[in-house]
Copies of this chain bind each other. A is one copy, B any other.
Amino acid sequence: MEKLRKIILSEKEMPTKWYNILADMPNKPMPPLHPVTRQPIGPEDLAAVFPMELIKQEVSMERYIDIPDEVISLYHTYRPSPLFRAVELEKVLGTKSKIYYKYEGGNYSGSHKANTAIPQAYYNKQEGVRRITTETGAGQWGSAMSFACNHFGLELLVFMVKVSYNQKPGRKLLMNAYGARVVPSPSTMTNAGRHVLELDPDSPGSLGIAISEAMEVAVQDPYTKYSLGSVLNHVILHQTIVGEEALIQMEKTGDYPDVVIGCFGGGSNFSGIAFPFLRENLLKGKKTRFMTVEPASCPKLTKGKFMYDFGDSAGMTPLLPMYTLGHNFIPEKIHAGGLRYHGAGVLVSQLLKDGFIEAKAKMQRECFEGGVLFAKAEGILPAPESTYAIAAALDEARRADLEGVSKTILFNLSGHGHFDISAYEKFFEGNLPDHEMTAAEVEKAISEIEFPAAN
Contacts and interface: CB of A to CB of B under 8 A. Distances in A.
A78 B5 CA distance: 10
A84 B107 CA distance: 13
Nearest to A425: B173
B76 A108 contact: no
A8 interface: yes
Nearest to A174: B381
Contacts of A6: 11, 76-77
A93 interface: no
A106 B78 CA distance: 11
B381 A73 contact: no
Interface string A145-157: 0010011000000
A19 interface: no
Q: How many copies does the complex hold?
A: 2
A379 interface: yes
Interface string A347-387: 00000000000000000000000001001101111000000
A424 B177 contact: yes
A298 B11 CA distance: 42
A447 interface: no
Contacts of A147: 376, 379
A312 B371 CA distance: 37
Contact of A173 (B178, B416, B421): B421
Contacts of A223: none
Contacts of A88: 151
A76 B380 CA distance: 14
Nearest to A178: B376
A452 interface: no
A380 B110 CA distance: 10
Contacts of A174: 381, 421
A176 interface: yes
A251 interface: no
Interface string A109-130: 1100000000000000000000
A169 to B, nearest CB: 7
Contact of A375 (B77, B178, B416): B178
A379 B107 contact: yes
A77 B379 contact: yes
A135 B107 CA distance: 30
Contacts of A2: 69, 72-73, 76
A107 B103 CA distance: 12
Contact of A108 (B3, B10, B379): B379
A287 interface: no
A230 to B, nearest CB: 21
22 contacts: A2-B69, A2-B73, A2-B76, A5-B76, A8-B10, A77-B84, A77-B379, A106-B106, A108-B379, A110-B418, A147-B376, A147-B379, A169-B425, A173-B421, A174-B421, A176-B428, A177-B376, A177-B381, A177-B428, A179-B376, A418-B419, A419-B421
The 8 A-B pairs of least Cβ separation, nearest first, read A108-B379, A418-B418, A170-B421, A173-B421, A177-B375, A2-B73, A147-B379, A173-B425
Given A8-B11, A109-B379, A177-B428, 18 more contacts: A2-B76, A5-B73, A5-B77, A6-B11, A6-B76, A6-B77, A77-B84, A107-B379, A108-B379, A150-B376, A170-B418, A173-B425, A173-B428, A177-B372, A177-B376, A177-B381, A179-B376, A416-B418
